[in-house]
Amino acid sequence: MNPDTTTVTDKKVKIAVAKGDGIGPEIMDATLKILEAAGASIQPEYIEIGENVYLSGNTSGIQEEAWNIIDEAKVILKAPITTPQGKGYKSLNVTLRKSLALFSNVRPVNALHPYVQTNFPKMDVVIIRENEEDLYAGIEHQQTQEVVQCLKLITRPGSEKIVRYAFEYAQAYGRKKVTCMVKDNIMKLTDGLFHQVFKEISAEYPDIISESQIIDIGSARLAANPENYDVIVTSNLYGDVISDIAAEIAGSVGMAGSANVGLNVAMFEAIHGSAPDISGKNIANPSGLLNGAVMMLSHIGQTEVADKIKNAWLTTIEEGHHTADIFQEGQSVKKVSTSEFAEEVIARLGQKPKQLKESKLASGAGTINIPSYERKVVDKKLVGVDVFIDWSGSNPDEIGNNLHAVNSAKMKLKMITNRGVKVFPNGLKETYCTDHWRCRFVSSEAIIQTGKPHYPTVEYDHVLTLLTDLSNAGFDVIKTENLYEFGGKRGFSLGQGE
């Protein structure tokens, strides 16, 4: 993958263009006008995605022909689309990123002080967010009357790709430090894997400083002292949150662009949403999408045009022609509409900023190489099962004793947790219990009372027999999770207090 050295030919590069919802069409028209005036050698192929497609009855939110256009073009320029909160169709943004394996979401955010109001004049951060997995896998279930769950999936190949991308990006763009943000003091397996991969891969880049922070204090520090950060790599949800924080404190969420990069396809967009509150008013700031388009031009090798546009844009900002979101009395010269802003940028094509840092993409960046993943063979051993039971009682001893009474020859109850806290045996009477009981069964021969627990192998047939016995005894089993050891290491979390 080489974002800056794709061969440029006279032939126009096909780009799949989606105008999106809300302010999407306004900012896309402004952006394309600037690209055309600057001489970008592209051929937009329009695709229909978003609200209108959903409303026409297509629940995927994307027309079938659009996939063919994307497949041919391999590059997408996309305006924001609307996704309903809490109900309705699935996010098409997430579908596009996952279906097209756009594993890396790259969001550079830098201050444009003093032209755009910010408390952090030297801020210059690139957030590299994992884009395909984590809680955004979107696998959710209601399991009992009171409990819903969302699966957080973190994979080794996914973590390796994104962490490697962050270090390769830092190297290619002359960045000095990569900070990993995780919450592995709590999620020891999922965030623990991401952190472990970070430690492994950072060792291969001794010239780049690497550090890790817990996401809560990390995001607080990012908000308080963004100038201390360079490149940040993190998982999907955390990255989504902190990149908006970063954009907002840099001046406006309307300014930052992002690249969604895969090994074969790449999609470029603004980081903000469809802003329905200002849609149709011709007042939106097109800068986020324009910056996404500049990244796109760099990706397809048209770095000179990319620099020309970026420098005209920086000059426009410097000369105080601002849309309403960044307009400040005393600093700004003129409040302009979306379309007027585009005209101002076009009028400055060929100019360079006097104070702000000039864009020099054409002077080249290094290459980004992501090796293909090689799966290692590790010994896998089944040592038990967590059986989740829907039970509306409230006394853990009652369900515990009833489960003990189930006579399943090969497996025995080890403990019960409720929302992760051990409530049987020997729970605290203060612990609040809902109707969702995680009941851990291990081999009847397991030694669990003293010292280091030892879990003998369990046959899956034993699990099936246990489930039949539980069902016959009237328990409402809602799901199971097998307990494995991989390479002799425990592959499941302990209950709090276990």
Find the shortest distance in angstroms from Cβ 58 to ligand NAD: 17
Find the shortest distance in angstroms from Cβ 200 to ligand NAD: 32
DSSP state of 492: S
Find the shortest distance in angstroms from Cβ 181 to ligand NAD: 20
Residues forming the site for ligand NAD (CB under 6 A): 23, 80-83, 93, 253-254, 269, 272-278, 284-285, 288, 325
Helix, strand or coil, per DSSP, at residue 139: coil
DSSP state of 109: E
Q: What's the token pair of residue 420? A: 């992760």
Q: Smaller CB distance to ligand NAD: residue 273 or 495?
A: 273
Find the shortest distance in angstroms from Cβ 121 to ligand NAD: 22
Q: Smaller CB distance to ligand NAD: residue 251 or 273?
A: 273
Q: How far apart are CA 421 and CA 432, in angstroms?
A: 10
Question: Distance between alpha carbon 50 and the CA centroid of its chain, in Å?
Answer: 20
Question: How many CB atoms neighbour CB 150 within 10 A?
Answer: 12
Find the shortest distance in angstroms from Cβ 305 to ligand NAD: 22
Q: Smaller CB distance to ligand NAD: residue 292 or 427?
A: 292
- Residue 117, exposed/middle/buried by CB under 10 A (0-12, 13-18, 19+)? middle
Q: Smaller CB distance to ligand NAD: residue 197 or 289?
A: 289
Q: How far apart are CA 418 and CA 431, in angstroms?
A: 9
Question: How many CB atoms neighbour CB 329 within 10 A?
Answer: 6
To 10 degrees, the CA torsion angle through 204, 209, 211, 217? -150
Sign of CA dihedral 106, 112, 118, 120: positive
Helix axes 287-299, 24-38, angle to 10 degrees: 50
Find the shortest distance in angstroms from Cβ 343 to ligand NAD: 17
Q: Smaller CB distance to ligand NAD: residue 101 or 382?
A: 101
DSSP state of 112: -
Q: Smaller CB distance to ligand NAD: residue 290 or 416?
A: 290
Q: How far apart are CA 28 and CA 279, in angstroms?
A: 13
Q: Smaller CB distance to ligand NAD: residue 155 or 338?
A: 338
**Of the candidates 458, 472, 466, which has an alpha carbon nearest to the alpha carbon of residue 439?**
466
- Assess contact for 109 and 127: CB atoms under 8 A: yes
Q: Smaller CB distance to ligand NAD: residue 123 or 275?
A: 275
Residue, CB closest to ligand NAD: 273
H helical segments located in 361-410 = 396-405
Q: Smaller CB distance to ligand NAD: residue 240 or 435?
A: 240
**Of the candidates 127, 110, 130, 131, which has an alpha carbon nearest to the alpha carbon of residue 231?**
127
Find the shortest distance in angstroms from Cβ 370 to ligand NAD: 23
- Assess contact for 136 and 236: CB atoms under 8 A: yes
Question: How many CB atoms neighbour CB 28 within 10 A?
Answer: 24
Q: Smaller CB distance to ligand NAD: residue 47 or 284?
A: 284
Q: Smaller CB distance to ligand NAD: residue 285 or 418?
A: 285
Question: How many CB atoms neighbour CB 264 within 10 A?
Answer: 10
367: left (phi over 0), alpha (psi -120 to 50) or beta: beta
Task: Render the burial of 284-313: b for 16+ CB within 10 Å, e for the rest.
Answer: bbbbbbbbbbbbbbbbbbbbebbbbbbbbb
Find the shortest distance in angstroms from Cβ 286 to ligand NAD: 7
Find the shortest distance in angstroms from Cβ 83 to ligand NAD: 4
Find the shortest distance in angstroms from Cβ 344 to ligand NAD: 15
In a 13 Å sphere around the CA of 14, the CA atoms on its Cβ side amount to 12
Find the shortest distance in angstroms from Cβ 281 to ligand NAD: 10
Find the shortest distance in angstroms from Cβ 82 to ligand NAD: 4
Q: Smaller CB distance to ligand NAD: residue 285 or 315?
A: 285
Q: Smaller CB distance to ligand NAD: residue 182 or 275?
A: 275
Find the shortest distance in angstroms from Cβ 333 to ligand NAD: 19
Pairing of strands 411-418, 266-270: unpaired
**Of the candidates 116, 110, 81, 355, which has an alpha carbon nearest to the alpha carbon of residue 257?**
110
- Assess contact for 222 and 245: CB atoms under 8 A: yes
